[in-house]
Amino acid sequence: MAVSPEVVADAIYELVAQYQGKKKFKAGDLTKEMIAKFGEDGCDKKLCKLAIRQLMDSGRLVYTYFGGSFIEVPHEEGAAGGS
């Protein structure tokens, strides 16, 4: 049974947040993880791409570039907290 893009988006966010600072994920890595988690019947590349787009559009996750494109939780700026 297929899951909704929102469920996949939440699972992706939780995975990326859990490994923040320890591991960087590429979009393909996240897609493989979600297919493994929900099964091929419940999740496919198209659904993962839609979920990642929702996360990017909402600002919950961002693309970063360090010799390749990675997906991460947005970093807090050092001066953003005030004086």
Here the CATH number for the domain that contains residue 26 is 1.10.10.10
CB contact at 8 A, 42 and 2: yes
**Closest alpha carbon to 42 in 4, 72, 9:** 4
Q: What is the pLDDT of residue 83?
A: 43
Find the DSSP H helices in the chain.
5-18, 27-38, 45-58
What's the domain range around 56? 5-72
Q: Mean pLDDT by 10-residue block, N- to C-terminus, for the chain (83 residues)?
A: 90 96 94 95 94 96 92 75 47
Residue 46 lies in a domain: yes
What pLDDT was estimated at residue 78?
A: 55
- Domain count across the chain: 1
Whether residue 79 lies inside any domain: the answer is no
Q: Is residue 83 part of a domain?
A: no
- Grouping H, G, I as helix, E, B as strand and the rest as coil, residue 4 is coil
